[in-house]
Amino acid sequence: MRSAVRRETLLKIVASASLLAAMAWVTIPANPPFQLCGFHWLTGRPCPLCGLTRALFALAKGQWAAALHFNTLSPLAFAMLFSLFWEGPVRSRLWTAGTAAFAVYGVVRVILGGG
């Protein structure tokens, strides 16, 4: 039983490290040639997740200012992403609070048109 728990923990650590390494190694253009967001295509306004991919890759490289420019809630999204590899009540609370934060942020972005 203990070896199964250790193996699972090791797998989570390796998965987290691999994801972080891949995000740090790959560079995504700051100004993509086209928008992938359907909401942005239809409305011309950014959704709560617009810029999040670029922001997460910037965070993995330690480029905090760039990440915050792409999406203000990117540090929260980064924590939420890596919490997927761990169990416990903290992950549940993080996802509940994070989902609420992104909902409010989305409304603000739609109303103000930026962010």
Give residue-wise pLDDT tens across range 55-110: 999 999 999 999 999 999 999 999 998 888 888 888 999 999 999 999 999 899 88
- Pure H helices in 1-115: 2-25, 38-43, 52-60, 64-70, 74-83, 89-112
Which tokens sit at 73?
Answer: 């809630």
> pTM here?
0.76
